Chain A
Amino acid sequence: MTIYMGAPDSSGRFGEFGGRFVPEALIPACLELEAAFKDAWADTAFHEEFEETLREFGGRPTPITYCPRLSAQLGIEIYLKREDLAHTGSHKINNVVGQALLTKRMGKPRMIAETGAGQHGVASATAAARLGLECTVYMGEIDTQRQALNVFRMELLGATVVPVTSGSRTLKDAVNEAMREWVTCVEDTHYCLGSVMGPHPFPWMVREFQSILGREAAEQCQTLGVGTPDFVVACVGGGSNAAGIFSGFANSTAKLIGVEAAGGSAIGFGMPGVLHGMRSMLIQDEVGQIAEAHSISAGLDYPGIGPEHAYLAATQRAEYYAAGDSEVLDALQLLSRMEGIIPALETAHAVAWVVREAGGLIPKGSKVLINLSGRGDKDVAQVRDILRGEA
């Protein structure tokens, strides 16, 4: 039997996806990071520090919440893995704590990060503050305007935010600019990439840091008497929260479902290509120029997907579907009203798929675990404007 979600091969590939497609100037840093991560991940003391930091500072473990009212309405059993209750309001804290600890271990005093809506930027600034690291965050100029409050949060946490004015001035270009800047400061700076993407070892390393939530969820499902869920569902932009929860169930009987934004569906509409250091599925035009993604949720506004997801899709171990903006808005309101939990717009994609497919692809009576990857506080102003017809 194939074992899923193990280590990639020596070239950093999951099947035909992954690899290390970056300029030579960055290769030594990727090699250094790979060696440092392997060393740290084999070190019990590092694991202890990682887990302790997430326990005492990051709010782990997060609970699993059963949804009685929504379950009754949809005729299925719905459980939520509550990453919205982690520090900074999403699963992002798991990855940044891991990378910030690794930055210190490599003896680097500084990290840089990219951010779309600002969640990864805020999390990076948070971890940097906790561990005494300098932090600079690259954020598309359009996103700095859309998410002005998150810019201030990062600044409050002591980080410097650099608006990116090139290209589409959103997440894709924030990654480009962070990579360009990394070339200039690679000797004393770690690039704290925010998802399971980029050149090897990032997709693997970020998944390993996020796997803490999948392991927790699998144990909690046993403790709560749920057993193995029939479906494990997560939203996917780059795919870090999905990789985290999938890793806890990859070698079980659970069906793994990733839900992309309809306007950023790399598995649905993409083709294999090379961007941001990886070979993966990417939305491109007919000559290989990368398209701009469009979604109501800035966090899913990315034309690619992590290479391991491309592999899980190719091998059919996981299935990927898309949710559109309007069903996502409906799902956000439904969960808020029926269960008292306002999910992030990104997360609401996973909820929307479950609502749509209950009794369809999801047979009645199924046990469904949704990774509730983030809380919706950051989105309430945007949602208010849309619902009032002002956006």
Chain B
Amino acid sequence: MTTLDTQLRAVRDSGRKVLVPYFVAGLDDEWLDCVRAAAFAGADAIEIGVPFSDPIMDGIVIQEASLLALARGTTLTSVLEQLATLDIDVPLIVMTYFNIFHHHGLERAAADLAKAGVKGSIVPDLSLEEVGTWREVGNANDIASILMVAPSSPPARVGQLARQTQGFAYAAARMAVTGVASDSGRGEGVVQGIRAESDVPVYVGIGIATPEQAAAACQYADGAIVGSALVQLLLDGKGPKGVEEFISAMRAALDNVA
């Protein structure tokens, strides 16, 4: 088991619902302060998006933020250097597309992530069939490989994904790319499918934008992932203060889930 597995299982076993916010690294000068603000306001793990030129799993909000971050010269190396200066007690998970690691060199990427204190990775274009080498190299550096399960994943695949994911299973609530949605989605069925196969913690993401949606997801899941709604708030210039308010409201909603 990776450190992330141990940590996230301990949180689940304590009865706390997990909140995982997502940030686009390098979006502006304040992005690290935003990560800190989220940690202090009650995030349990934080996804750090390393921007890529062609984010095919991301909707318009994260696409726009990624292009802004890239225009500021953001790279994997610059992000990891900044993350290494963070003084927070919350596990960090890097989310990016495979070409970033592939180009950096897989062993070097995993070692650099570990050096910066990162505990896990989400690479949406690395399918179950392709993730093997990266997971091996990651595990040698205590980096967990988190896999997504989609509403379209047939039962046999759900079993494989649930058994092979590390840290947690990322249950996609919708057949959609990242973004804000208003409907309740199909997360519950996905979570039930995973639960039937594994005792890994299960968090729901894709389309979760409000405290109410997060709390609803945590009626059946162990946690909720919120990305685009938070990134939109930063694109609107709300900064660390806005992050703190947003995360606090999310936290309160999750703490009220029985």
Residues of A near any B CB (own CB < 8 A): 11, 19-29, 166-167, 172-173, 176, 179-180, 183-187, 271-277, 279, 282, 284, 287-290
Task: Flag whether B126 is at the interface (Cβ < 8 A).
Answer: yes
Contact B56–A23 (Cβ < 8 Å): yes
Smallest CB gap from A272: residue in B? B102
Contact B56–A287 (Cβ < 8 Å): no
Chain A positions within 8 Å of B154 at CB level: 28
B149 smallest CB distance to A (angstroms)? 7
Chain A positions within 8 Å of B161 at CB level: 24
Contact A275–B99 (Cβ < 8 Å): yes
Task: Flag whether B219 is at the interface (Cβ < 8 A).
Answer: no
Q: Which of B76, B102, B154 has the most CB of A within 10 A?
A: B102
User: Which B148-162 residues have a C-beta within 8 angstroms of A?
Assistant: 148-154, 157, 161
A106 smallest CB distance to B (angstroms)? 15
B99 touches which of A11, A167, A288 (Cβ 8 Å): A288
Given A183-B176, A288-B99: A25 in contact with B53 (beta carbons within 8 A): no
Chain A positions within 8 Å of B97 at CB level: 274
Given A27-B157, A287-B75: A21 in contact with B130 (beta carbons within 8 A): yes
B169 smallest CB distance to A (angstroms)? 11
A176 touches which of B56, B103, B126, B148 (Cβ 8 Å): B56
The proximity string for B residues 151-181 relative to A, scoring 1 for CB distances below 8 Å and 0 otherwise, is: 1111001000100000000001001110000
Given A167-B53, A180-B56: A284 in contact with B99 (beta carbons within 8 A): yes
CA of A104 to CA of B162, assembled, Å: 33
Chain A positions within 8 Å of B151 at CB level: 25
Q: How many residues on chain B are close to A (CB under 8 Å)? A: 43
CA of A326 to CA of B186, assembled, Å: 54
Contact B126–A27 (Cβ < 8 Å): no
CA of A290 to CA of B63, assembled, Å: 14
Chain B positions within 8 Å of A290 at CB level: 53-54, 99
Chain A to chain B contacts (Cβ below 8 Å), 26 pairs: A11-B129, A19-B129, A20-B127, A21-B125, A22-B56, A22-B125, A23-B56, A23-B124, A23-B127, A24-B172, A25-B151, A28-B154, A29-B152, A167-B63, A173-B54, A180-B177, A183-B57, A273-B103, A274-B99, A275-B54, A275-B99, A282-B99, A288-B99, A288-B100, A290-B53, A290-B99
Given A25-B172, A27-B127: A179 in contact with B56 (beta carbons within 8 A): yes
Task: Flag whether B235 is at the interface (Cβ < 8 A).
Answer: no
Contact A167–B67 (Cβ < 8 Å): yes
Chain A positions within 8 Å of B22 at CB level: none
Chain A positions within 8 Å of B53 at CB level: 167, 289-290
Chain A positions within 8 Å of B52 at CB level: 288-289
Contact A20–B176 (Cβ < 8 Å): no
Contact A287–B148 (Cβ < 8 Å): no
CA of A276 to CA of B177, assembled, Å: 15
CA of A172 to CA of B154, assembled, Å: 30
Smallest CB gap from B57: residue in A? A23
Smallest CB gap from B77: residue in A? A287
Chain B positions within 8 Å of A11 at CB level: 129-130
Given A22-B127, A29-B152, A167-B67: A287 in contact with B176 (beta carbons within 8 A): no
CA of A282 to CA of B52, assembled, Å: 14
Given A23-B57, A166-B60: A28 in contact with B98 (beta carbons within 8 A): no
Chain A positions within 8 Å of B176 at CB level: 183-184
Q: Which 10 A-B pairs have the closest CB atoms?
A: A288-B103, A25-B150, A289-B53, A287-B75, A274-B99, A290-B53, A24-B150, A21-B125, A24-B148, A180-B177
B130 smallest CB distance to A (angstroms)? 6
CA of A25 to CA of B151, assembled, Å: 7
Contact B125–A28 (Cβ < 8 Å): no
Chain B positions within 8 Å of A19 at CB level: 129-130
Chain B positions within 8 Å of A23 at CB level: 56-57, 124-125, 127, 148, 150
